[in-house]
Structure 1
Amino acid sequence: MKIARFIVVAFLCIILILQTGCWDQKLFEEIGFILQLGIEESPDNSILLSVTYPIVEHNTEEKVQFMSMNSEKLVRASRERMRNISGKYLQGGKIQQIYFSKGISHKGINEFLEVFFRDPENPLLANVVVVDGSPKEMMEMSTKFKDKPIPAFYVNNLLMDARRRGAVPETRIYDFCIMYYSKTIDPVTPLVRYTKKNIEIVGSALFSGDKMVGQLDIEQTIILNALLGEQKDIHYTYYGQTPSKSTGNIKRGASMSIRDIKRKIKIDTSGDVPVINISTNFAALIDEYTLKDNLYKPEIKKMLQDNIARSIKSEMQKLIKYMQGVGSDPIGIGELIRSKYNKYWKSIEWKEVYKHSVFNIDVKVNIESYGTLK
C-alpha cells in the first residue's frame, strides 16, 4: 500500500516537472499605465491627444508624467507614437477618465470611443467627461496641484461625490455607447472647468446622438435627475413665493433633502403629437428653514408644500422646453414610445416630433420631517 502511494506521488511530481507553460511577464516599472486621456482639436485642425500616467521611480519628486501629441491618425496609432518617446510601454487598461473639449464634442465623439469597445484591453468603465476649455491645459495644470491627490484620483473623488448628490450623471464609456447606438436615449456627461488651483464640477453636457448640443448647471442637472426618477440624496433650496416675504438682501426660504422620488410617465399618441404626462412625488426633510412662520401649523405646511411643488414644476417645464429646443432626449421618451407604441414609432421621425411634443408635469411634495428643532 505504501509502495503504491509512493509510486502515485512520484508519478505526479514527474508530470508537474514536465509540464510547460507561458508567463506573459509585465514589470510594473517598465509600464506606463495611462490614467487620463484628453482629446481636443489643435489650432491646425489636427487632433491633440494628451495623457497622464503615474511615475514609480524613487529618484524623482514628480508623481505624474504628462505627455501630449498632435495627430491626424487614430487614437491607437497615436498611442503607439507616444511609446516611441515615453520610455515606457504605455497601456490603456487603467484609464479613469477620457476628456473631450467642447469644440470636439460639438462635432461628435463616438469615433474616438471606437477603440475602447473594440479592444478588450481598454476599460469600458472609464468616465466620459466634457471640459470647458482645453483638456491638455487642465491635465498639465493638475499635475502641479501640490495639495491634491494624483489628478485621476482627484477627479474620480469629485465625480463620485457629485453623483451621490445628483449634481452630475454617471456616464461611463459603455453607458455612452449604449445610449448612442440605441438612437432612443441621448447621453448626458459631466461638465468640468479648471483653474490653476483646482478642477470644478459645473454641471452636465447634453448630447443629441454623439454631438453636444447644450449644457446644464448643477441645479438643472438635479432637476433632470428628478425627472429621470433617480434615487439620489438630492438637495433642493426653495427661494420663491413663501408665506413670509424676504427682507433686504438676505434670502429667506427652505432648504431640504429629498430622500424618495416616485415618477410615473404616461404617453398618449392618439393626437397629432404625443402628449407626455409626467407625475412626480417627492418625500422631503427640512434641513434649514429661515421663515418666521410656524411650520407646525397645518395651513402653513400645506402652503409651503404647494409652493415648493410649483417651484419644482416650473423648473422642470423650463428644463424640458430647453431640451426640446436643442433636440436632446436624455429622459428616454423615445425609448418608451418605441417599446410601447412601436407601430406609431415607425411612422414618425422622432427627432422632429420630439421638439413639438406636449409635456404635462404634475409635482407633489410631502414634508415628512422638520428636523430635531421645532
Structure 2
Amino acid sequence: MKSKLVICFNIICCSTFLFGCWDQTLLKDVTLIKAQAFDVGTDKNLIKTTISIIETDSNVKIPSGNVILSAEGASTRDTRTNLDEEVSSELFATKNQITLISSDLAKQGLYALLDANFRSPLSALSAKLVITDGKAGTILHTKPENTPLISDYLSDLIDSEEQMGVVPVVDLQRALTILYDDGKDLILPRLTILDGLVGAQIAGTALFNNNHMSGTLNTDQTSLLLLLGDNKKSAHRLTRKVHSFSSSSLYDYITADVMKAERSLKVARNDNNMFEVQIELTLKLNVIEYPANHLYKKQVIASLNEKLSKQLTEEANQILEILKESKCDYLGIGRQVQARYNSSWKSMNWKEVYPAIQMQANVKTEIETHGIIN
C-alpha cells in the first residue's frame, strides 16, 4: 500500500512540470497556401507571387473552392509580406502542394526564387516544382472540371505523369540537392495552359545549366532521357511511327510499354585527352497496340526491333546534343569525371569542357510480348 502511495505521489509531482507546446500554431489562426506561382512583375525588377488558398463552407467547414491572391515585391519574401496584408490571418506554406515558376523568370535564376522556401522550417519541401510556358499565375486561374481545388488538380496531373515516366520526380528538397551539385544539373516538368483556361497540359521538361533555365525537351524526348538516365522508378510507354502505309496512317504506329530497361554509362579519355561518354540502353518491350498485326512472325518482330532501335538511337543522340548545347549535365557525367579524374576536375571549368565532350548513345529494343492475339 505504501509503495502505491509513493508511485501516485511521484506521478502527481511530475505532472506539475508538464507544459503544453510553447510554439504551437493553431490551424484556426492561419491561412494555408495550397499552391504558389512566381512571375516577372509589372516592373522587370519586381516579382509577382500568386497563391491559391482554400475557400471553405462556413456551415460544414469543408473546402468548397479556391481563392486566388496576387502581390508584387522586390523578392518572394517581400511579396509574401504584402500578401499577408490581404488576408485576415497569417499565411503558412506548410501544406503547399505545388510551386509554379514562369520560364521567363526561371531563365533569370531559380535559387533566388526558392531561397525563402529552403530557409523556413515551415516550408513543404515535398511540394512539386514546375516550370510554365507563359504566365505561371494564370494557371492558378484555370477551371478544370470535377476538381474544385486547383492545387489538387495540378498535383494529381504531375503525379500521374511521373508514374508514367513522362516527367522527372522533383520536389523542392531534391531540387536544392541538385542545385548545389557541381557534377549534375536539374530538369523540371513544364506545363502549358489549355485554351479557354479549362486546365493545363504537360509540355515536356525545362533543362537547367546550374541555376538558370537553358533549354527544353518535349514529352517523348523527356521519357527517353529518363531511360538514358537509368530511371527505374516509373513506367514508360513509347509510341513511334514504323510504317508509311498509304491506306491509313492508323496502321503506321506501334505503342509499347517498357517492361525492363538495362543501361550502362562509361566515361573515358581518348588519345587526345578528351572525355568520351558511351551509353548502351536495352529496352525489353511489351507491344500493347500494333494494328498492322502479324506479330507471331519472327521476321516481323526482327524488322520492328531493327526500326525501333535505329529510330530511338537517333533520337537519343539528338537529345544528348541538346543537353550539351544547353550545358545541362542531367546524366551526371561531371560526377563520374570528378570521381575518376579528380586531379583534372580540380583544374578545369566543367561547364566549358562539357559541351565539347563526345557523347554517343546506342539503343537496342527487344520485343518480348505482344498481348493475347497472334
Q: TM-score, normalised by structure 2?
A: 0.92
CA contact (8 A) 2:29 2:89 kept: yes
| Distance change >3 Å, CA 21–CA 361, structure 1 → 2 | closer
Q: Give the SS at the match of 1:169.
A: coil
1:84 equivalent in alignment to 2:95: no
1:237 equivalent in alignment to 2:236: no
Q: Distance in 2 between matches of 1:62 and 1:298?
A: 58
CA contact (8 A) 2:204 2:219 kept: yes
Q: Give the SS at the match of 2:284.
A: strand
Q: Distance in 2 between matches of 1:19 and 1:175?
A: 38
Shift of 1:20: 4.1
Equivalent residue, structure 2, for 1:305: 305
Q: In the alignment, residue 203 of structure 1 is paired with which amino acid?
A: G
Shift of 1:219: 0.6
Q: Distance in 1 between matches of 2:217 and 2:183?
A: 20
Equivalent residue, structure 2, for 1:314: 314
Equivalent residue, structure 2, for 1:371: 371
CA contact (8 A) 1:269 1:344 kept: no
> Which of 30, 43, 64 is residue 66 of structure 2 equivalent to?
64
Equivalent residue, structure 2, for 1:192: 191
Q: Deviations over 1:101-129 (max 9, x none)?
A: 11111111111111222221112212111
Shift of 1:54: 1.3
Q: Distance in 2 between matches of 1:318 and 1:191?
A: 20
Equivalent residue, structure 1, for 2:257: 257
Q: Deviations over 1:172-203 (max 9, x none)?
A: 11222221211211100010011311111111
Equivalent residue, structure 2, for 1:209: 210
Q: Distance in 1 between matches of 2:5 and 2:255?
A: 78
Q: Distance in 1 between matches of 2:86 and 2:370?
A: 62
Equivalent residue, structure 2, for 1:218: 219
Q: Distance in 2 between matches of 1:325 and 1:79?
A: 36
Q: Give the SS at the match of 2:86.
A: helix
Q: Deviations over 1:213-261 (max 9, x none)?
A: 1111111111111111112211111213x5xx41245241321101211
Equivalent residue, structure 2, for 1:102: 103
Q: Deviations over 1:306-329 (max 9, x none)?
A: 111111101101111122122212
1:351 equivalent in alignment to 2:343: no
Equivalent residue, structure 2, for 1:324: 324
Unaligned runs of 5+ in 2: none
| Distance change >3 Å, CA 18–CA 93, structure 1 → 2 | closer
Q: In the alignment, residue 295 of structure 1 is paired with which amino acid?
A: L
Equivalent residue, structure 2, for 1:3: 2
1:151 equivalent in alignment to 2:150: yes
Q: Give the SS at the match of 2:25.
A: coil
| Distance change >3 Å, CA 6–CA 134, structure 1 → 2 | same
Q: Deviations over 1:145-184 (max 9, x none)?
A: 4522411111111111101111111111122222121121
Q: Deviations over 1:80-102 (max 9, x none)?
A: 23222211211111111111111
CA contact (8 A) 2:285 2:369 kept: yes
Q: Distance in 1 between matches of 2:55 and 2:136?
A: 20
Equivalent residue, structure 2, for 1:173: 172
Shift of 1:31: 1.3
